[in-house]
Amino acid sequence: MSSPARLKIGCIADDFTGATDLANNLVRAGMRVVQTIGVPQAPLDTEADAVVVALKSRTIPANEAIAQSLDALRWLQAQGAQQLYFKYCSTFDSTPAGNIGPVTEALMDALGCDFTIATPAFPDNKRTVFKGYLFAGDVLLNESGMQNHPLTPMTDPNLVRVLQAQCQRKVGLIDHNVVAQGEAAIRARIATLKAEGVGIAIVDAVSNADLLRMGPALSDMSLVTAGSGVAIALPANFGLQPTDQAAALPAAGGLQAVVSGSCSVATNQQVLHFIQSGRPALAIDPLRIAAGQDVRAEALAWAQDKIAQGPVLIYSTAEPSTVKSIQGQLGVEQAGAMVEQTIAGIARSLVELGVRQLVVAGGETSGACVQALEIEQMRIGGQIDPGVPWCHAASPAARQGLHITLKSGNFGTPDFFTKAFTALA
């Protein structure tokens, strides 16, 4: 086994789909990237410029998120990572208890880092930050629907205030006027903030040009914290330029399927689009799972005689009123866990049937599917839509490995479920 080169960027992501989102942006900017599911037990055994360690630490208790993140940091340091990147959601999903602030500060302490940035800006997916205020699309974060998020309701769009509530260190702002002037002005502002006792600064960015202007000023920062957007600007600091080779994956083959447990607005549109295009789609009824029916076996039998003709979709995706009614009958957590386990079981059975191109929709659903497929590591390939790349992974269920994409609930155009397979052809 050849000994891999020193990692340029070591990344810690607080969820699985967010991890592929970050990996995708690093690949687009020229890095070869591997994503691991959790913290690996062994050293990296393949060439990569960056590794993204995917955790599920977004909404767990802050002390557990810190412990897992420090574990990931130690592994990345052992692989020689030259810069660390903590990735969180582009809608800054967190509560006054964390976990963005506590994890950032624990990583800073461990790295002896006296200053870092924080920006969830991801203009390709319409997340922008101006004067410290986060916009999702054309509206402020707290008007975007995120104010109703069940676990991390975002009711304040001012990120300086939001992050300060989670941090011991003083939080400041590098605003758009400074970012627009480029590296020297950003470095000067950082020096001023440090002199004022600020340890973490929210940074404005309303376009990719802003992110690219920011990049050179981050070249010597041991820790960067951000959504995935900032990643487009970092590979250049290591002398890398965009190249198709960074996204190279093995040739794709085998059967094609989509499984969806996401109930987000974008996914609902994607399911509808797939059905309206006349392709085979099977809805899963959570109440039948709860009643003890073998929904997995039924789904497999349904798929078996259709899948040779082209991609099939198996979904529990539903509109908010239906989801609420099911949650009312089964309980929120029980309904979620039951559906996740069923879809993950179906994904495993489909791969055992010969599916080698698998689209998974939903963050939690992706976590369950990746676990059911016993995937430990994924190589990141080309982008299908902003934030969503194809990946290639080994799995005991697929001898030569499989192509898999983990789609965040809110990402992707309405035709994503068909476009994904065309992109791989």
Ligand X SMILES: Nc1ncnc2c1ncn2[C@@H]1O[C@H](COP(=O)(O)OP(=O)(O)O)[C@@H](O)[C@H]1O
Ligand Y SMILES: O=C(O)[C@@H](O)C(=O)COP(=O)(O)O
Instruction: List contacts with ligand X (CB under 6 A).
Output: 261-264, 267, 286, 316, 318, 323, 326-327, 335-336, 339-340, 362-365, 408-409
Query: Peptide bond before 25: cis, by omega within 30 degrees of 0?
Result: no
Of residues 326-385, which lie at the interface with ligand Y (CB under 6 A)? Answer: 363
Q: Which is nearer to ligand Y, 15 or 340 (CB)?
A: 15
Question: Contact, 407 vs 359, CB < 8 A?
Answer: yes
Please provide the DSSP assignment of 317-336 as one string.
---HHHHHHHHHHH-HHHHH
C-alpha neighbours within 13 Å on the C-beta side of residue 113: 22
Q: How far from the centroid of its chain's Cα atoms is residue 205's Cα?
A: 20
Query: For residue 262, which of 13, 14, 15, 24 has the smallest C-alpha distance?
Result: 15
Strands (E), 111-222: 116-119, 127-130, 133-136, 139-140, 170-174, 198-203
One-letter amino acid of 162: V
Q: From the list ligand X, ligand Y, none, pick the one residue 68 interacts with, judged by a Cβ distance below 5 to 8 Å according to partner type.
A: none
> Site for ligand Y (CB under 6 A): how many residues?
15
Least distance to ligand Y, CB of residue 361, Å: 10
Strands (E), 189-319: 198-203, 223-226, 255-260, 281-283, 312-315
Q: How far from the centroid of its chain's Cα atoms is residue 87's Cα?
A: 8
Q: Which is nearer to ligand Y, 166 or 228 (CB)?
A: 228
Of residues 266-325, which lie at the interface with ligand Y (CB under 6 A)? Answer: none
**Tokens 């290639």 sit on residue:** 392
Q: Interface with ligand Y includes 408 (CB under 6 A)?
A: yes
Question: Contact, 403 vs 252, CB < 8 A?
Answer: yes
Q: Starting at the edge strand that comes first in sequence, how are the strands of the sheet with 133-136 ordered?
A: 127-130, 133-136, 139-140
Question: Contact, 51 vs 36, CB < 8 A?
Answer: yes
Q: Can you read off the two tokens belonging to residue 394?
A: 């080994």
Q: How many CB atoms lie within 10 A of CB 306?
A: 14
Hey, CA dihedral for 411, 91, 180, 21, is it positive or negative?
negative
Q: From the list ligand X, ligand Y, none, pick the one residue 339 interacts with, judged by a Cβ distance below 5 to 8 Å according to partner type.
A: ligand X
Least distance to ligand Y, CB of residue 13, Å: 8
Least distance to ligand Y, CB of residue 295, Å: 24
| Per-residue binder mask for ligand Y (CB under 6 A), 203-242, x = binder | ------------------------xx--------------
Among 9, 11, 12, 15, binds ligand Y (CB under 6 A): 15
Q: How far apart are CA 189 and CA 402, in angstroms?
A: 47
Question: Contact, 248 vs 347, CB < 8 A?
Answer: no
**What are residue 358's phi and psi, to 5 degrees?**
-125, 125
Q: Which is nearer to ligand Y, 17 or 142 (CB)?
A: 17
Among 387, 388, 391, 417, binds ligand Y (CB under 6 A): 387
Q: From the list ligand X, ligand Y, none, pick the one residue 387 interacts with, judged by a Cβ distance below 5 to 8 Å according to partner type.
A: ligand Y
- For residue 59, CA distances in Å to 64, 99, 425 come to 10, 7, 37
Q: From the list ligand X, ligand Y, none, pick the one residue 270 interacts with, judged by a Cβ distance below 5 to 8 Å according to partner type.
A: none
Q: From the list ligand X, ligand Y, none, pick the one residue 326 interacts with, judged by a Cβ distance below 5 to 8 Å according to partner type.
A: ligand X
Question: Contact, 218 vs 111, CB < 8 A?
Answer: no
Task: Name the residue number minimizing CB distance to ligand X.
Answer: 409
Q: From the list ligand X, ligand Y, none, pick the one residue 21 interacts with, judged by a Cβ distance below 5 to 8 Å according to partner type.
A: ligand Y
Least distance to ligand Y, CB of residue 93, Å: 7
Q: From the list ligand X, ligand Y, none, pick the one residue 412 interacts with, judged by a Cβ distance below 5 to 8 Å according to partner type.
A: none
Least distance to ligand X, CB of residue 265, Å: 9
Q: Which is nearer to ligand Y, 199 or 409 (CB)?
A: 409
Q: Interface with ligand Y includes 18 (CB under 6 A)?
A: yes
Q: Which is nearer to ligand X, 37 or 171 (CB)?
A: 37
Q: Which is nearer to ligand X, 59 or 207 (CB)?
A: 59
Q: Which is nearer to ligand Y, 115 or 133 (CB)?
A: 133
Of residues 84-123, which lie at the interface with ligand Y (CB under 6 A)? Answer: 89-91, 122
Least distance to ligand Y, CB of residue 407, Å: 8
Q: Interface with ligand Y includes 21 (CB under 6 A)?
A: yes
Which residues are near ligand Y by CB under 6 A? 15, 17-18, 21, 89-91, 122, 227-228, 363, 387, 408-410
